[in-house]
C-alpha cells in the first residue's frame, strides 16, 4: 500500500470513529433526563498490522460510566427506591457538548487530511500521464 493510500485509509478510519463517537454523545444527550441512565463511554484503539501500527484507528468497547447519578428525595416518584430516593442519570450536558465539539473538529481534521491526500494522488496521476 502506498503512503497516500495509507493516509487516506487512516483518515477514513478516523472519520468513521468520530462519527460513531457523535452517535454515542447523541445517545447520552437524549437520555440525560432518563432516571437511572448511565453515560456511555467510548475508547479508541490503534490497528496493528503485524508488527507496526497502520495509523488507522478503530472503536474500542463501549463501557458505562460507573459514577452514580444525582439522588433526589421524592417518595411520590414511580421510580423511587425503598427510602424514597430517585437516582437520575449521570450525564453532564457540558461534558457531552464538549465531547461533541471535539468529535466534530476531529472529523473535520480527518476530512481535510483525506482531501489533501486525494489531491496529491490526483496530482501524481496527472504527472504520470505527461
Q: What distances in angstroms separate CA 59 from CA 41, 45, 56, 64, one per listed residue?
A: 11, 6, 10, 15
pLDDT score of 1: 64
pLDDT score of 100: 96
Predicted TM-score (pTM) of this structure: 0.83
pLDDT score of 50: 67
Task: Report residue 102 as a C-alpha cell.
Answer: 471535539
The rounded Cα 21 to chain-centroid distance in angstroms is 2
* Cβ neighbour number for residue 11 with a 10 Å cutoff: 23
Query: What is the per-residue pLDDT across 67-92, written as a single tens digit (0 to 9) for each?
Result: 999 999 999 988 889 999 999 999 99
Domain boundaries, the chain: 3-129
CB within 8 Å of 104: residues ≥ 6 apart: 18, 22
Amino acid at each position: 500500500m502506498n503512503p497516500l493510500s495509507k493516509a487516506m485509509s487512516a483518515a477514513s478510519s478516523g472519520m468513521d470513529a468520530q462519527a460513531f463517537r457523535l452517535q454515542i454523545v447523541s445517545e447520552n444527550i437524549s437520555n440525560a433526563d432518563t432516571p437511572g441512565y448511565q453515560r456511555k463511554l467510548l475508547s479508541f484503539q490503534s490497528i496493528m498490522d503485524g508488527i507496526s501500527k497502520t495509523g488507522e484507528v478503530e472503536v474500542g468497547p463501549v463501557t458505562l460510566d460507573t459514577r452514580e447519578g444525582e439522588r433526589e428525595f421524592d417518595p411520590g416518584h414511580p421510580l423511587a427506591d425503598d427510602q424514597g430516593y430517585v437516582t437520575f442519570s449521570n450525564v453532564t450536558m457540558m461534558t457531552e457538548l464538549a465531547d461533541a465539539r471535539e468529535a466534530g473538529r476531529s472529523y473535520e481534521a480527518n476530512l481535510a487530511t483525506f482531501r489533501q491526500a486525494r489531491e496529491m494522488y490526483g496530482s501524481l496521476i496527472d504527472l504520470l500521464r505527461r
